[in-house]
Amino acid sequence: MLIINISPMHFKHDIILRNYIYQSIYSCMNNILNKEPVKRASKALSNFDSTLEIQVLDKTARTAIDAANSLSCEVGAIVKSLVFKTNETFLMCLVAGDKKCSLNKVKKIIRNKNLHMANAEEVKIKTGYTIGGVSPIGLIEKMDILIDKSLDRYKNIYAAAGHPNCIFKINFSDLKKITNGKVEEIIE
């Protein structure tokens, strides 16, 4: 039999340390949730359905693989928000994390051969989000959205919510509705 003697002093310090850790985590989560881009995504989400909410992850969700690891889900259930531009307009494509967007297919759909990825500054200006946390909702400027139909294979999918540590869970049908996106086959 093993007997461990814990003095009241140690116990008191353990409680203080544990409370400090919890307060630090709570403070960090609150700081993230109070960032303007996250608030904008949260408002769009709650205006659509008050039961949907943003989750703050303790690890980054900057890439689809990071997000899948943080959520313990398949990479394909992660929604990649990709912003493209033509000479005149910007377009967002929502693609499953395990797939690659086909520029040729998108060009045919929009009937414009002059299509390329928007750079980080353009993405920030047009969406209000920084790459790694680009949400398909709460965009600063309205843009057309194409949704990869392969996302429909999952009961729940996860999209960025304005910060690399923030996501929201949604089903495919509701993703179509909240983004007013058009479902297409846009993967290679």
Q: What is the CATH number of the domain that holds 36?
A: 3.90.960.10
Taking a C-beta distance cutoff of 8 angstroms, is the pair 42, 56 a contact? Answer: no
Taking a C-beta distance cutoff of 8 angstroms, is the pair 133, 120 a contact? Answer: no
Chain centroid, CA 102 distance in Å: 21
Evaluate whether residue 108 is within a structural domain.
yes
Evaluate whether residue 152 is within a structural domain.
yes
Could you tell me the residue range of the domain that residue 174 belongs to?
Answer: 30-184
User: Which segments in the chain show pLDDT lower than 70?
Assistant: 1-30
- Residue 24's pLDDT is 46
- Residue 52's pLDDT is 94
Q: Could you tell me the pTM of the whole model? A: 0.83
Evaluate whether residue 4 is within a structural domain.
no
- Residue 62's pLDDT is 80
Evaluate whether residue 159 is within a structural domain.
yes
Question: What would the pLDDT profile of 146-174 be if each residue is shown by its tens digit?
Answer: 999 999 999 999 999 999 999 999 999 99
For 12, 81, 94, 143, the CA distances from 84, given in Å and listed in that order, are 56, 10, 11, 10
Evaluate whether residue 105 is within a structural domain.
yes
Evaluate whether residue 22 is within a structural domain.
no
- Residue 32's pLDDT is 85
3-state helix/strand/coil string of 132-159: CCCCCCCCCCCCEEEEEHHHHHCCCEEE
- Residue 15's pLDDT is 53
**Number of structural domains found in the chain:** 1
37 CB neighbour count, 10 Å cutoff: 22
